[in-house]
Amino acid sequence: MKKIFKIILFINLVSIFFSFYINASEIYHKNILEKHFTDLKKTKSFEDAINIEKNIWDLWNLHPNNQFLTNKLKLGTELMENGQHKYAYKIFSNIIFEDPNWSEAWNKRATVLFLMKEYDLSLIDIERTLDLEPRHFGALSGRAQIYINLNEYQKALDNLMKTKEIYPLSKGNKVITKLEKILKIEQI
């Protein structure tokens, strides 16, 4: 009986340790992300902004406590970049099934759906991405691109303006002026 009790106690202690480790990892991940977003908003240097953006993407692409899911996301991204959209879609869907709270899995699936010209489905995944990570400037920019493709210029502009609030030196700012001109012409 003592042996069973010791085994149960050991299992409980290991479980508590891993639970603590996972929570600490997630907190660390979130704290670093917060710092990057603060820096992104404050920087006046385009070079610094690009470096901060890269750091944010690196964190988004890194699952906070599951290296296997990180590796799957990387594989899906490589497939997507090589034009194997259906396979990438399956991998991203599988990741979402395993962890429906990882915003970047939703964003990647939204991206592959965009590439497949499945705009309505992509918009649904973008919405989920933004529910999980409201500052996801990639999702906002992607949604703007969909709206441009659908000739819904005001919605595109609204999304790019939200992006600019989060990421003042975003490359997408160039499109804002063009959209404003298009909307002015449409009003005439």
Give residue-wise pLDDT tens across range 100-111.
Answer: 999 999 999 999
Q: Measuring CA to CA, which residue among 162, 112, 173, 108 is closest to residue 135?
A: 162
The whole model's pTM is what?
0.84
Number of domains in the chain: 1
pLDDT at 38: 97
Residue 59 has pLDDT above 80, yes or no: yes
As given in the structure block, the two tokens for residue 138 are 């990639």
Assigned domain for 36 exists: yes
Which residue carries 């479980």 as its tokens?
15
Assigned domain for 45 exists: yes
CATH code of 10's domain: 1.25.40.10
Q: Distance (Å, rounded) from C-alpha 99 to C-alpha 171?
A: 31
Assigned domain for 168 exists: no
Q: Distance (Å, rounded) from C-alpha 181 to C-alpha 53?
A: 28
Assigned domain for 154 exists: no
Cβ distance 58 to 88 under 8 Å?
no
Assigned domain for 174 exists: no
